[in-house]
Amino acid sequence: MALHKVDYAKENGLPIVLTTVDKLIQWGRSNSLWAVSYGLACCAIEMMATGAGRFDFDRFGTIFRASAKHAEVMIVAGTLTKKHAEFTRRIYDSMPEPKWVISMGSCANTGGMFNTYSTVQGVDRIIPVDIYLPGCAPRPETLQYALMILQKKIRKEIPRRKQKAKRLV
Amino acid sequence: MRKKLIKDTSTKNYYEDRFYVPLESKKIDVNETIFKDDLASLDDMKIIKSYVEYDQMVVFIEKNDNLKALEKLRDYGYEILTEISGVDFIEKKGGIEVFYQLLSIKHKRRARVKCFVKQGEFLQSVTALYKSADWAERELYDMFGVWIEGHSKLKRILMPDDWYGYPLLKSYPLQGDEHAKWYEVDKIFGREYRDEIGEENRDSAKVDSKDTFNFSRLYHEAEYGAKPPKEPYLQEYQEEGGVPLVKKVKRDKFKILKKRR
Ligand code: SF4
């Protein structure tokens, strides 16, 4: 039977969903995470693959934005050099609250194999990170899973409360 | 306050032959090879040393003759300057050996012009002869600290403008000196936050078992500084009871497909 032919009044009435406003807001937030496309090195290729057709980030409501001002999640994918560190912080600062960070790949987590003078040994030295995603390079499924964990984390948060400073300063 | 670690490694020279030193390659007199005319084009110039090694001509010249020598070789047929770089001989000879790698499409051969720049000396820019020297000379300055005279924009190219030290010198530590260690903290937060943020952890496999704040406890997450919950969350992606409007997948009600649809 086609949907429009269902007579709700005749059966048990309209379907009703009960939830709290908090949950509804966070559920909405978690399902429309716009990510600032922040690819720095090889991991960015995997991030692109995750955004593309086969893995399809759009079905999570995650759309890559070129502008930090419309984004709420920053996926740092790749090697962060000392020269670039200042700009990463600036982009993070220009994102509106609330915001989250996924650190993608060994390089972003710990500097990876680049234990040298020019590489920042982990983005968490300059910005607070929510999810660390291991691998070199992580497969697109791993990024998907990281996003799903982030979604879950967001759904547990309370939107009205002022967010505590996460790390660093 | 953390004890200050002042270890200025930038002044110490680590140069020594720690590694296997291969036997010297075979060097042939230039006048016995096809490079005879190439060398002859540098007719009246002072040539310190010249030989052919691995089918390439190598010519050592005086530092001040580099413009003149390259111009003569260019006129002879070396149209392309592929690379300029240096070798650190500060410990051994007190300077840097700069080489110019040339390619001739016309004659189908390569040549290398070398000169020795002592510390504190200037080198003439060759950008007027070869456009490609522009960036290569900036890199030479950035990585070796060789000052180039007559370059239109001599500043750092790979490292930040306020970087201290020249990373390709043999005296430069691989993991950076004291300045490099704190670079991003000083720049972004200021020196007063050094204690709060701490040194770079150079050991990526290091696990601090006492650190219960900075590890992501999957399914045990808590805010920074907060106590983690005693009971772990259900180890499944979907929340117990489901998200509103989203059906919960039941683990016991799955179906295995015989073949792909
Ligand atoms: S973690 Fe591996 S794949 Fe990712 S940026 Fe670093 S080197 Fe490249």
Enter the tokens of residue B67.
């413009």
**Nearest alpha carbon, ligand 1 atom 8:** A42
> Between B10 and A23, whose confidence is greater?
A23
B81 alpha carbon, distance to own chain's centre: 21
**Nearest alpha carbon, ligand 1 atom 4:** A43
Min mean pLDDT across A51-65, A112-126, B187-201 is at: B187-201
Task: Say yes or no to pLDDT of A74 above 90.
Answer: yes
Could you say which of 1.10.10.10, 1.20.1300.10, 3.40.50.20, 3.40.50.12280 is the CATH number of the domain covering A31-156?
3.40.50.12280
**Portion 193-212 of B in contact with A at CB < 8 A:** 193, 196-197, 200-202, 204
Q: Which of A8-17, A83-92, B27-36 has the highest mean pLDDT?
A: A83-92
Q: Is the CB of A49 under 6 A from ligand 1?
A: no
* Helix, strand, coil percentages for chain A (3-state, nearest 5): 40, 15, 50
Please give the residue of chain B at the shortest CA–CA distance from A148.
B237
| Span A77-98, pLDDT tens digits | 999 999 999 999 999 999 988 8
CB atoms within 10 A of CB B257: 6
**Hey, of B208, B216, B223, which one would you mutate to test binding to chain A, going by the most A CBs within 10 A of its CB?**
B216
Please give the residue of chain A at the shortest CA–CA distance from B201.
A121
Q: Which of A13-27, A71-85, B210-224 has the highest mean pLDDT?
A: A71-85
Asked if A82's CB is within 8 angstroms of B183's CB, the reply is: yes
**Hey, of A20, A32, A117, which one would you mutate to test binding to chain B, going by the most B CBs within 10 A of its CB?**
A117
**Residue B50: what residue type?**
S
Which pLDDT value is given to residue A76?
94
Count CA within 13 A, CB hemisphere, residue B77: 14
Task: Say yes or no to pLDDT of A12 above 80.
Answer: no
B188: chain A residues, CB-CB within 8 Å: 85-86, 89, 126
Mean pLDDT, rounded, for A47-60? 90
Min mean pLDDT across B3-7, B42-46, B116-120 is at: B3-7
Q: Percentage of residues in chain B with pLDDT exceeding 90?
A: 23
- Nearest atom in ligand 1 to A106's CA: 1
Could you say which of 3.50.50.60, 3.30.460.80, 2.60.120.260, 3.40.50.720 is the CATH number of the domain covering B25-149?
3.30.460.80
Domain residue limits, chain B: 25-149, 170-231
Dump strand ranges (E) for A33-107. Answer: 35-39, 64-65, 73-77, 100-104
Which pLDDT value is given to residue B32?
84
Count CA within 13 A, CB hemisphere, residue A128: 15
The annotation status of A136 as a binding-site residue, yes or no, is yes
Mean pLDDT, rounded, for B20-48? 83
Mean pLDDT, rounded, for B170-181? 87
Nearest to A150 by CA among A100, A110, A105, A109: A100
DSSP state of A135: -
Which pLDDT value is given to residue A169?
43
The annotation status of A42 as a binding-site residue, yes or no, is yes
Specify the DSSP element, H or E, that contains B143. Answer: helix B133-144
Do B132 and B144 form a contact (C-beta atoms < 8 A)?
Answer: no
Q: Is the CB of A78 under 6 A from ligand 1?
A: yes
Domain residue limits, chain A: 31-156
Task: Say yes or no to pLDDT of B101 above 80.
Answer: yes
Enter the tokens of residue A140.
């697109």
Task: Say yes or no to pLDDT of B37 above 60.
Answer: yes
| Span A27-46, pLDDT tens digits | 999 999 999 988 899 999 99
B175: chain A residues, CB-CB within 8 Å: 115-117
